[in-house]
Chain A
Amino acid sequence: MEKNVTLIALFAGLIAALGIIPAITLGFGVPITAQSLGVMLCGTILGSKRGGLAVLLFLLVVAIGVPLLSGGRGGLGVFASPSAGFLIGWPVAAFVTGLIVEKWNGAPLMIIAGIASVVGGVIVMYAFGIVGMSIALDKTLLESTGLVTAFIPGDLLKAGIAGMLTSALAKARPASVLSRADAV
């Protein structure tokens, strides 16, 4: 119990740290922060339930007014902004990512974690984000999809990195990749 709560809190802190440390920006002209990479890692490393809870805890701390989102954003305002859908999709994204890694055993972990990150961290997250944006900006779903397409390649790249990191982590700390430990 203590271990689970600590892991959940620590990964919530990890998402925050990935957004705050300036050196960890994946720049392609526009600096893209690694925070959504943190969401994917919560799923691939902690598994569905713990990963989802870690992201929920992170969002709760942001909502009560601690500026942990990248660029020092935080508070209730970010949940009223057009990008709120993405934030609401984060816990679901981590949950789905974790679920796939837990249930699918037939391929190398790097491939599984990478594909799980694409499904959870890109498809699920963008589904929520696009709906949120279409409500806030009064656009159709198709128009909102057009507005966010530019960011999809960056997130696909992050999913690939998440896959590599997860398989490397499984070698460095085999007991730590809990999404796998539970499945065995």
Chain B
Amino acid sequence: MISLTSPIRTKAHSWPAGAKLATLCVSTVALFYVQNAAIHAAIFAGILTLYALPGGAFFMTGLRALRLLWPFIVVVAIWHLWTGEVALGAAVILRMMSAVALANLVTMTTLLSDMIDVVRTITRPLARFGLRPNILELAIALVIRLTPVLVEKGSLLSQSWRARSCRPSGWRIILPFTVLALDDADQVAEALRARGGFDTMKDT
């Protein structure tokens, strides 16, 4: 499974992940206090400069990630052209793009393992309520490992559907897919228990 971390090493890769996340929180909140479209344009230009610093490939990856916003940009643009509040519309669009771009920047410059370390740190107080951090980490690993397995099984199901019918399968294969997943859960749980289960796992 491919993480969204950029393979292009930047200086920010070595910065502590917790500090990056805290900065992101503060700056996203701050973005919502700025109302002026010109300031928002300057902020967005600044963020684009940050994207451009590590080079062209990094910049293009960053822009591609922003593409998912286009329906919102179109809706807000039409809305505010209609009402005539063009400056307000520009501020809303720029703020939205800046907020998403900043968050993506943190994701692109932080390794998955560093993120998991942050998760471990912030969930430590939850141990009092019975959430053991190593179980959470195992669950994260299980999701990352099992998703491709499930995708493969689902693709096989849809292929075998297509071998039998010329109509698209749609939702009909979700039932056998779920049954397969439940049977897998049984087997994985058995396998975990056979290896000593959670009782033998050392707390980190």
Contacts and interface: CB of A to CB of B under 8 A. Distances in A.
Interface of A: 1-3, 5-14, 16-18, 20-21, 23-27, 34, 37, 41, 45, 57-58, 60-61, 63-68, 71, 73-83, 135-139, 147, 161, 165, 168-169, 172-173, 176
Closest 7 A/B residue pairs (Cβ): A75-B107, A23-B158, A9-B142, A76-B103, A64-B115, A77-B104, A17-B150
B182 A173 contact: yes
A14 B68 contact: no
Contact of A76 (B24, B150, B184): B24
Interface residues of B, number: 71
A173 to B, nearest CB: 6
Interface SS, A side: helix
Contact of A137 (B72, B144, B175, B179): B72
Contacts of A18: 154, 174
A66 B112 contact: yes
Contacts of B68: 71, 73, 78, 81
Interface SS, B side: helix
Nearest to B32: A135
A165 B68 CA distance: 31
Contacts of A75: 4, 65, 103-104, 107-108
Contacts of B135: 5
Given A10-B181, A75-B108, 9 more contacts: A13-B143, A18-B174, A26-B171, A60-B119, A66-B112, A77-B104, A138-B88, A169-B182, A172-B179
